[in-house]
Amino acid sequence: MDEVLTKLRNLAITMTRGPEEQCRGNGALTIVDQGVISSDSSRGAFMPALTPLPDVTWLACQHVGEGLGTPDNHIERLRSTDQGKSWSNQGSIHGGKQPRDGWAYRGPQISAVPDGRLVMTATRFESNGLLFNTESEALQRPEMLLFWSENLGRTWSDPQVVPHGLPADCYTANGAGTMLQLAPDRWMYPFETWKPDGHDGPPDQKAGALFSRDKGKSWSELVVVADDPSGARQLPGGAHADRLREAGRNVLARRRSAHLFLVYGAGDHAHEVGAVVVVLNR
């Protein structure tokens, strides 16, 4: 990639209708500002995410490297202290440099938690080759992670591995969306599955989530939202939180009253054939 353009300030928008009207298609969005906040011609930057903090500070994070899924992928963060008007790139969260620990780190997202800390979700993949094998359709083996910060994102902890409990010889599981804090004692970490190297046959693709009742210390509850053991259909993005685009398909999660609404695209290997809506009791 000749030039990296990470555009996050165009997320600063004015909503001229309420949420209910927007859902009915009557809302209008106006871009009030936009611009480039990260540009480095020596490498790419991918899957950016922005988190406004309670004060005027905004944080952004992204994974960088030669390509979207290459062995050198690692996470860096950016900071604005004037609500997005200007930005400083604060470099890698891995001690200020590219890690040399045999892992490629991808897809970070930051959330604020009630005790004042920040938590970053991300997934790391074994980095002994390309992320995806186009011949076998297998993924490098991943681990779902949490990083913690007690100083508003200036430094971050070593990664905390979030185990999913699925058989490692049949499944990979990577984070797929923003962690949701449904209640003080119930956090939701969405994921999607695929197949690892060495597994014959089609992938048993699942969309689901892990749940924590102790503010992220442990994740003992697994809920599968959708499953496709045949491998004939694609369930991209798992149970994504908030809206993003994954492989050209929109995924949406919204809370309303006592229910959690999950929307994702489903299709065969060639194209999307429709949208699926799932309603979960919280």
Q: State mean pLDDT over 30-52.
A: 91
Task: Report the chain's mean pLDDT, rounded to a whole number.
Answer: 79
Residue 60's Cβ-count burial label (10 Å; 0-12, 13-18, 19+) is buried
Q: Mind listing the pLDDT tens digit for each residue in 6-39?
A: 433 343 333 333 444 444 555 678 888 888 888 8
pLDDT higher than 60, residue 185: yes
Q: Which residue has the higher pLDDT, 174 or 256?
A: 174
DSSP 38-92: B--TTSEEEEEEEEE-SSS-EEEEEEEESSTT-TT-EEEEEEESSTTSS-EEEEE
Taking the alpha carbons of 180, 9, 153, 3 in that order, is the dihedral positive or negative?
Answer: positive
pLDDT tens string 91-141: 999 999 999 999 999 999 999 999 999 999 999 999 987 888 888 889 999
The predicted pLDDT at position 267 comes to: 52
The answer to whether residue 152 scores a pLDDT higher than 80 is yes
Q: Residue ranges of the domains in the chain?
A: 1-162
Q: Average pLDDT in the 267-279 region?
A: 48
Rounded Cα distance between 59 and 37, Å, is 11
Measured CA to CA, the distance from residue 122 to residue 53 in angstroms comes to 19
What is the reported pTM?
A: 0.78
